[in-house]
Amino acid sequence: MSIKKLRKLLDNKEISALELTEQYLNKIEEKDKEINSFITVCYESALEDTKKAQEVIDSGKADMLTGIPISVKDNICTLGIKTTCASKMLEDFIPPYDATVIEKLKKSNAVILGKTNMDEFSMGGSSQTSYFGGVKNPYDLSRVPGGSSGGSAASVSADFCVASLGSDTGGSIRQPASFCGVTGIKPTYGTVSRHGLIAFASSLDQIGVLAKSAEDTAYILDCIHGYDKYDATSSKNATGNYTSLIGSDVTKFKIGIPMEFFADGLNYEVKTAVMNASRYYQSIGCEIVECSLPSLEYAISAYYLISSAEAASNLSRFDGIKFGHRCDNGESYDELIKNSRREGFGTEVKRRIMLGNYALSSGYYDAYYKNALRIRAQIKNEYDLIFEKCDVILTPTTPTTAYKIGEFKNNPAEMYLEDIYTVTANIAGLPAISTTCGYDKNGLPIGMSLIGKAFDEKTIIAMCDRFEKDFIRKEAVI
């Protein structure tokens, strides 16, 4: 059910905040054993949250999210609630503070149901690298839900919550949203404070939202956006009011179709569904403009260099001494740290740290890291040129639909290529939203993405909403 409808039921006292939350908690208890979308379910604190929410509702001072049950990715710090990043390294870590986004949700008296499973430290696109076991796709339990926010996407798709907070470094909200048949938005870099988000790649990371519709993502984004003195990279340009263009005339907007996103490597069924979406927009009066992002071919390489370099630095804080897993053995200070990191990190995290240090080491820095930054600048320039001619860009979210669990187990480099259509929005810092635009022959959701100009979330949300209102969504059956 949509946030707007739930708001009405709650405000009209047709359902209490407690009843609503209990419905979701019971469903999680009954069904999440199959999906494994949650690492921690907050049974007690969620019920506490409903008491406060009900008091606010009864006083007539509820805002859009008061009493709305939401899940949160387990890399966002929650005061007094375990925040593990799906890693043995942080298996017992209980943050002494709330992330800014959590403070904002609490101010709105939203109900936090629990912390969702993910790829360890957000490094992956399958949600199978979690120390707490992999997540399954609610549409087909033999397939991945995508990642890294796979638990968030699956929890929305399986109707374990109304919406979920995720994070997106190279597609980690949009790709799982696509695989799990839900809507996911990565806002413009700087829109949402990263204070309390456990850092992966700081120049690319951005907190965003997964929900059942573009409209619902907008309500959550209205709550969590905004400048934060605790995040120097947060921006004062994020103005909110993200539903303001919903229902307005979207036919005036020009849609760019970058041809490189439709070249070899794109699954035929995905291509057909996204082109059908383009024809839908054309049929309602939007102008379709062919455009080009020539440097797309370099995007994956640049992304993995930049993100791994930043990760190598960010993850150096995990030494097992101040917090996190500490090895029982280690005669010297150095040995203790090395052994703690060996035991605490999974294989993919170690690979990324090693790659990052390789990219930053002398002899390779110029050829790899510096060139990756040049590619980043070039991609941004190419997007600027496209946006001189159009308002939004339409692309597939992923080259294929959800793949089988274990498919890329022995070939990490091949799995990296799956991020080809999502990484450029992070590289250029642009907002992008993914929604379902079709289903393949196996009934698996196909995602399309709308990329917007910086800080123009309103337009992509309104465009996405218009499509969703005319599209028949098939819910996952679990």
Partner 1 sequence: MNTDMVKRLAQLSKISFTEEELAKMSSDMSDIIALIEKVSAFDTDVSMTPNTVDYKSLRADTYKPSCPTEEIIKNAKKVTGNSFTVPKVV
DSSP per residue, 156-199 = HHTTSSSEEEEEESSSTTHHHHHHTT-EEEEPPTTSB--TTBPP
DSSP sequence for 356-387: HHHHHSTTTIIIIIIHHHHHHHHHHHHHHHHH
**Does 359 engage in binding with partner 1 (CB under 8 A)?**
yes
Q: Which one among 107, 247, 333, 471 touches partner 1, defined by CB under 8 A?
A: 333
Can you tell me whether residue 310 is helix, strand or coil?
Answer: helix
* C-beta closer to partner 1: residue 30 or 297: 297
Q: Which is nearer to partner 1, 186 or 466 (CB)?
A: 186
Amino acid at 20: L
Residue 385's identity, in one-letter code, is L
Residue pair 88/325 in contact by the 8 Å Cβ criterion: yes
Measured from the Cβ of residue 367, the count of other Cβ atoms closer than 10 Å reads 10
Nearer to partner 1 (CB atom), residue 148 or residue 243: 148
Report if residue 384 touches partner 1, rule: CB under 8 A: no
* Phi, psi (deg, nearest 5) at residue 360: -95, -5
One symbol per residue from 404 to 423: x for binding partner 1 (CB under 8 A), - otherwise; what is it? -------xxx--xx------
Interface with partner 1, residue 342, by CB under 8 A: yes
Binding mask 29-68 for partner 1 (x = CB under 8 A): ----------------------------------------
Considering only residues 180-219, where is the footprint of partner 1 by CB under 8 A? 190, 203
Determine the interface stretch with partner 1 among 149-157, 169-177, 243-251, 352-360 (rule: CB under 8 A).
Answer: 352-360
Of residues 117, 169, 170, 119, the one with CA closest to residue 147: 119
Decide: is 124 part of the binding site for partner 1 (CB under 8 A): no
Q: Which is nearer to partner 1, 248 or 361 (CB)?
A: 361
The residue within the footprint of partner 1, chosen from 331, 388, 441, 472 (CB under 8 A), is 331
**Inter-residue contact 73 to 152 (CB < 8 Å):** yes
DSSP 400-444: SSPPBTTTTTT-HHHHHGGGTTTHHHHHHT--EEEEEEEE-TTS-
172 is catalytic: yes
> Among residue numbers 282 through 321, which ones bind partner 1 (CB under 8 A)?
295, 297-298, 300-302, 304-305, 312, 316, 319-321
Active site residue 148: yes
Catalytic residues: 73, 148, 172
